[in-house]
Amino acid sequence: MSALDGPAAAGRWLSCVTDPGSERQPPARLIGALPGEGIGPEVIDASLGVLRRLEHAGGRSIEVEIGGPIGITAKRTTGAALPDETAAFCRDVLARGGAILTGPGGGRYVYDLRRELDLFLKLVPVSAGLGLPAASPLRPEVVQAVDLLLVRENLGGVYQGRSEQFLDRDGTRILRHSFETSEPRLRRYLTAAARLAADRRGHLTVVVKQGGTPVLSDLWRTWASEAAADTAIDVSFVDVDLMAYELISRPQDFDVIAASNLAGDILSDLTALLIGSRGLSFSGNFSPLGHSVYQTNHGAAYDIAGRDAANPIGQILSLSMLLRESLGLHRESRAIEDAVRSVWATGLRTADIASSGDRVVGTQEMAEQIAEAAAIQLGAMSRAA
């Protein structure tokens, strides 16, 4: 076994976001896969195909268990976007030291899952090194040096609030929506974001809206400043509207960005422009105990489901993140990422990232090419060890 592999070498991001005093279940070579809906089954199958090819090439054997339905499809049949049976499946996999790889699911699926499993933050890596800057609509000189980490707060804000409807005295329909922010929860999140910045280049940008929500923004400022002082990093504060502008105009200047649930959702989609396509964007959701769920940042794309047209790379890269961060399998993770780049170098593209002169292929062929390249990469690493 390489010194880079195994439970003791679990990912640095996971180490930063896990509570220091928590007793994490020892990692197991176990993945619980939720195929999801729309294009989900296609991209999950593509990812697991890459995993199987790595095992045949000498990679570590990993047990994969398939969970139940999620999303709009599940709600039609069970009444819930996250059925109790599926939630129980996830808890069981995590309790045994595994991690969850989920395909896309609609409705309230992801929000309910995060609340159910205490997945308090989401990490969205945004790097030109794992993207295709040539596919971006932005100028190459703007995106070619991008390397940032977006840290989204998962359990607060509008998405985790409560709504009520009633009629006033005139019979007018009124909707009231409220949400809460607690000091311990927000401090836990901002402390993790600060630790991530300390592990990188030492700068944290915190997204607020000072004029629109002054009291809430002041709380974010206070607790982020305390976390920055504790970790000896620099911190700055940017209003969300300006943040959107600056992510497009000077993305290479940012290191770690901390944003609320709603703002983080919007900004993560925006960052997909920096790497070429939503189909390339991926993320991991983490609990304070180190429980992890990995996903793409795109939706179920029902309109192209079953047509072999989906880009599987975001889902494949989410698998790579899972292998590195949760299972400590750094060689396998690196083999996948190197394989993606090598396949791109041949001019192979799915339709969403294709330019003139590229060869456009479908979901299955792209996945097969990446799987074969990953096996070659892993073999080269083994021979060099």
Bridge-based pairing of strands 121-127 and 359-360 is: unpaired
**For residues 161 and 159, what is the distance between their CA atoms, to the nearest angstrom?**
6
**111 in active site:** no
Find the catalytic residue in 5, 265, 338, 352. Answer: 265
In the numeric block, the tokens 């200047």 are attached to 253
**255 in active site:** no
**308 in active site:** no
| Reduced 3-state DSSP string for 15-34 | HHHCCCCCCCCCCCCEEEEE
**For residues 103 and 305, what is the distance between their CA atoms, to the nearest angstrom?**
13
H-assigned helices in the chain: 12-17, 40-56, 71-78, 84-95, 109-117, 140-143, 183-199, 214-231, 240-249, 261-275, 313-325, 330-345, 363-384
**209 in active site:** yes
Nearest-10 Cα torsion for 79, 80, 81, 85:
-120
93: nearest Cα among 291, 321, 320: 291
Who contacts 270 (Cβ-Cβ below 8 Å, separation ≥6)?
A: 244, 247, 248
In the numeric block, the tokens 């045994």 are attached to 96
**For residues 232 and 227, what is the distance between their CA atoms, to the nearest angstrom?**
8
**241 in active site:** yes
Find the catalytic residue in 109, 112, 122, 159. Answer: 159
- Joined tokens for residue 331: 């060689």
- Joined tokens for residue 129: 């090194």
Who contacts 383 (Cβ-Cβ below 8 Å, separation ≥6)?
A: none
CB atoms within 10 A of CB 226: 15
Find the catalytic residue in 45, 147, 269, 308. Answer: 269
**For residues 240 and 35, what is the distance between their CA atoms, to the nearest angstrom?**
34
**Please, is 216 exposed, middle or buried when counting C-beta atoms within 10 Å of its C-beta (0-12, 13-18, 19+)?**
middle
Find the catalytic residue in 109, 122, 189, 209. Answer: 209
Find the catalytic residue in 84, 218, 230, 241. Answer: 241
Q: Which residues are catalytic?
A: 159, 209, 241, 265, 269
